[in-house]
Structure 1
Amino acid sequence: MINIHSCLLLMFVLFSCSAPQKKESSAVITLEAEKFIPEIADKLNEISGLMIYKDHFWGFNDSGGENELYGFNKSGKIKYEIEFENAKNNDWEAMTQDSKHIFIGDFGNNMGTRNDLSIYKIKKKDISKKEEQKLEAKAIEFKYTEQKQFHFPDKSTPYDCEAMVAFKNKLYLFSKNWRDGTTWQYELATKKGEYEITPTDTFDVKCLITGADISPDKKTLALVGYQNYRSFMWLFSDFPGDRFFEGKSQYIKLEGIDGAQTEGICFLTNDSILVSCERSRGFDQQVFLFDLNKLNDGTH
């Protein structure tokens, strides 16, 4: 006769092997910041997004800033100013690009009170060599299907967002969840229109996500954020399709920049990442370099 305890143990093992498991990093590893662009023009003092295009770095100021995109060089000098027509900078927070367009997310929502969330896009082919220019922006408007209230206690809304990537003809947003330190993944079309979006996945990032980017080879998703005045980065790789959080994950403490308000992130190469911070009490606006080949556990 089979022992009842043996049967229960066998059932538990079979169930555990078949049930899908959320992959998360078991420990925090560290990566040292290197100065890359230590000085950036004062006109760009709240650099909330970061991107590389046509041998220049691009950024913008967040809430209260002009509806302008700035292109600057390695010396931090602004070379281009592009004004977005038909657009307003309520709270620009993220930037990404595909082969034909540049997208800027006007969806910063720290208090969870906004009902005018949008993403502006311009055509790359319309960008000229003029130092100052105006381009028509088209709006992708959206709202969160599950949001029913627009009043939250301070720093508690789950409907804030500061991170976005373009991937396989879609836009992917990653929330800055003040409530519990998770991030929710959303997706929407790249075409002008009005959309309602619901979360397609979630991950316990243990911080407030403020930026995202996809590596040039499209194999690694990077998220940057902060918690208690310390900056962190998540790397996701070997993911199936667009299920980023089902791949391998690495949780990285960014050393040497405690107190910096990290905002923008972009890959310089497949193995190096740039992170921008805005002007704060302890740091001027600048860009740092992180060499992924120097990860101290040697797994990248």
Structure 2
Amino acid sequence: MINIHSCLLLMFVFFSCTAPEKKENIATVSLQAEEFIPEVAGKLIEISGLMIFNDHFWGFNDSGGKNELYGFSKSGKIKYEIELDDAKNRDWESITHNKKHIFLGDFGNNMGNRNNLRIYKIKKKDISKKEEQKVDTKEIEFQYANQESFHFFDNATPYDCEAMVAYNNKLYLFSKNWRDRTTWLYKLPTQKGKYEITPTDTFDVKGLVTGADISPDKKTLALIGYENYRSYMWLFSNFPEDRFFEGDSQTIYLDGIDGAQTEGICFLNNDSILVSCEESKSFNQQVFLFDLNKLKDGTH
């Protein structure tokens, strides 16, 4: 009879030798939060997504909020209220843009039971200087090809998503995987249509991803998330084409905002990142700045 321990050892050696290697270069550091916009006007209490466009900052409320996109200034005053025509805010969670369009993700899915996931597409040229206006939208609808069940316990599904970036004329979604604290990467066309999507890659972020953005020079991908009431950021760089997770990666713990519900993220420039949080007992709805140069000069 073959000893069971010997069998287990042989299996371990076999899978260790045959499993494909994945590049991993992870350093854990920290950055101190700096005030940037200490409070945003009361209509925007959640700032679930964050974007810079036309010299203003843009955000929105999530599930149950109005179907409106808000543009606000550095002082936190709301300047623009953009109503999305024929759109509903079931659970808006992320916003991104390319040269011609803005994309707003209605794909929050904490219970894993939604079958109406979609992304609203807006033409930038349709947004005028009027403070209040309505714009037309196109819908990019999708479903997860691997999802067979729509019955999950609350906050236990792998089919939730709150993070999206536009890159090279594609949309990339990063899942908020409640089950094992990984994130799955999905890719979508930017054209109106109905799509089934499957993961193209996965990464062990060891937490819940709530936002994503890519730097203006397209060289750095940033993910924002949290775990155990601590907020963190992942940076990915030196990646080949759109294979973000095959590049160098770095975890950054965000000091000074423990307990904040971090939601949105966007690059102010290639070396500075803005992070939004919603109103809570500990924090106003506001925007923080994180200076990546402080990672380079050793002041973290």
TM-score, normalised on structure 1?
Answer: 0.92
CA displacement at 1:86 relative to structure 2: 1.4
The match for 1:183 is 183
Q: In structure 2, what is the Cα distance between the partners aligned to 1:171 and 1:291? A: 26
1:128 aligns with 2:149: no
Aligned residues: 286
Alignment partner of 1:294: what SS?
helix
Amino acid at match of 1:106: D
CA contact (8 A) 1:50 1:276 kept: yes
Q: How does 1:245-264 map to 2 (within 5 A)?
A: 245-264=245-264
- The 1-side partners of 2:102 and 2:35 are apart by 27
Q: Deviations over 1:23-53 (max 9, x none)?
A: 3354421011000000100100011000000
Is the Cα contact below 8 Å between 2:97 and 2:165 reproduced in 1? yes
Pairing 1:1-300 to 2, within 5 Å after superposition: 20-295=20-295, 298=298
Q: Give the letter for the 1:115 counterpart.
A: N
User: Where does structure 1 lack aligned partners over 5 or more consecutive residues?
Assistant: 1-11
Q: Deviations over 1:28-81 (max 9, x none)?
A: 210110000001001000110000001000000000100000000000000000
Shift of 1:19: 6.8
Q: Distance in 2 between matches of 1:97 and 1:258?
A: 29
Query: In structure 2, what residue type is equivalent to 1:133?
Result: Q
Measured in 2, the distance between the counterparts of 1:292 and 1:26 equals: 16
Partner amino acid, structure 2, of 1:120: Y
Task: Name the stretch that deviates more: 150-159 or 56-65.
Answer: 150-159
- Consecutive aligned runs of 4 or more in structure 1 exceeding 6 Å deviation: none
How far does residue 155 in structure 1 lie from its aligned partner after superposition? 1.7
CA contact (8 A) 2:26 2:248 kept: no
Gaps of 5+ in 2: 1-12
Secondary structure, aligned partner of 1:110: coil
What whole-Å deviation, never above 9, does each CA across 1:88-127 have from its counterpart, x for those lacking one?
0000000000000000000000010100000001100111
How far residue 22 of structure 1 moved from its aligned partner, in angstroms, is: 2.1
Matched residues in 2 for 1:164 and 1:299: separation? 30
Partner SS state of residue 92, structure 2: coil
Kindly indicate whether the alpha-carbon contact (under 8 Å) linking 1:203 and 1:245 is maintained by their aligned counterparts in 2.
yes
Preserved contact between residue 163 and residue 211 of structure 1 (Cα < 8 Å): yes
The structural deviation recorded for 1:165 is 0.2
Identity %: 76
Aligned AA for 1:258? Answer: D
Q: Which amino acid aligns with 1:248?
A: D
Q: 1:205 to 1:53 in 2, by over 3 A?
A: same
**Pair 1:19–1:114, CA change in 2 (3 A):** closer
Q: Give the distance between the partners of 1:159 and 1:28, measured in 2 at CA.
A: 28
Q: 1:82 to 1:297 in 2, by over 3 A?
A: same
1:143 and 1:195 in contact (8 A); partners too: yes
Shift of 1:298: 4.7
Which SS does the other structure have where 2:242 is aligned? coil
- Give the whole-Å Cα distance in 2 for the aligned partners of 1:58 and 1:239: 28
> How many Å separate the matches in 2 of 1:20 and 1:275?
35
Q: What is the Cα deviation at residue 257 of structure 1?
A: 0.1
**8 Å CA contact 2:63, 2:89 repeated in 1:** yes
In structure 2, C-alpha distance between the alignment counterparts of 1:133 and 1:155, rounded to whole Å: 36
How far did residue 21 of structure 1 move? 2.5
**Whole-angstrom CA distance in 1 between matches of 2:137 and 2:155:** 31
**Closer, same or farther: CA 148–27 of 1 in aligned 2, 3 Å:** same
Distance in 2 between residues matched to 1:253 and 1:297, nearest whole Å: 17
The corresponding residue for 1:7 is none
In 2, the alpha carbon distance for the partners of 1:63 and 1:291 equals: 31
Q: Partner of 2:239: helix, strand, or coil? A: coil
Q: Is the 8 A contact 1:106 1:120 kept in 2?
A: yes
Structure 1: how far apart are the matches of 2:24 and 2:174? 17
